[in-house]
Amino acid sequence: MRILVSGEKNNAAIERRVVFVLNWLGEHFKKADSIVEVAVVGDGVMLKNVLSFPAPVDFPHPDTKEAPLGEIRINPDYIARAGEDFDYMLIHAFLHLLGYDHKTGADAEKMEKLEKELLALIKIG
């Protein structure tokens, strides 16, 4: 999986963690031929922990052979203040790129169960 990390709050430690987590998820979900763009932002850009924007199926990407999954925007400052787990937020956003959602109670339950399972596996690995 190709992961493009940018943004005003990006630093070497955050970029290493983003690449590790998303590469692990890419292998787990067989998305090695995909591309994900990650913007690491601060409160001036986004007052939330994480947002994801799946790429439309017919999204043109002539400069790469990889299939675009979409974009993740993540705010590590917000995550830290809220006492949330950075890896968990990345997992949550990635699952949205794969089509998971939490619009209904059953969908939320399924997604949360998978998030917890994946988080436990990543923390071991």
Checking if the pLDDT of 122 tops 70, the result is yes
Tell me the three state secondary structure of residue 6. Answer: strand
CB atoms under 10 Å from CB of 121, counted, come to: 13
Q: Are 61 and 68 in contact (CB under 8 A)?
A: yes
End-to-end CA distance of the chain: 18
List, for residues 80-91, the tens digit of each pLDDT value: 999 999 999 999
Checking if the pLDDT of 125 tops 70, the result is no
Checking if the pLDDT of 26 tops 80, the result is yes
Tell me the three state secondary structure of residue 122. Answer: helix
List, for residues 35-88, the tens digit of each pLDDT value: 999 999 999 999 999 999 999 877 767 777 888 999 999 999 999 999 999 999
Whole-number Å distance between alpha carbons of 29 and 118: 11
List, for residues 86-114, the tens digit of each pLDDT value: 999 999 999 999 999 999 999 999 999 99
pLDDT reported for residue 66? 85
* Residue pointed to by tokens 């949360």: 112
Q: What is the pTM of this model?
A: 0.93
* Residue pointed to by tokens 């290493």: 16
Q: Within 13 Å of residue 102, how many CA atoms lie on the same side as its CB?
A: 12
pLDDT reported for residue 37? 95
pLDDT reported for residue 36? 96
pLDDT reported for residue 58? 77
Q: Which amino acid is at 93?
A: A
Closest to 108 measured CA to CA, from 96, 120, 118: 96
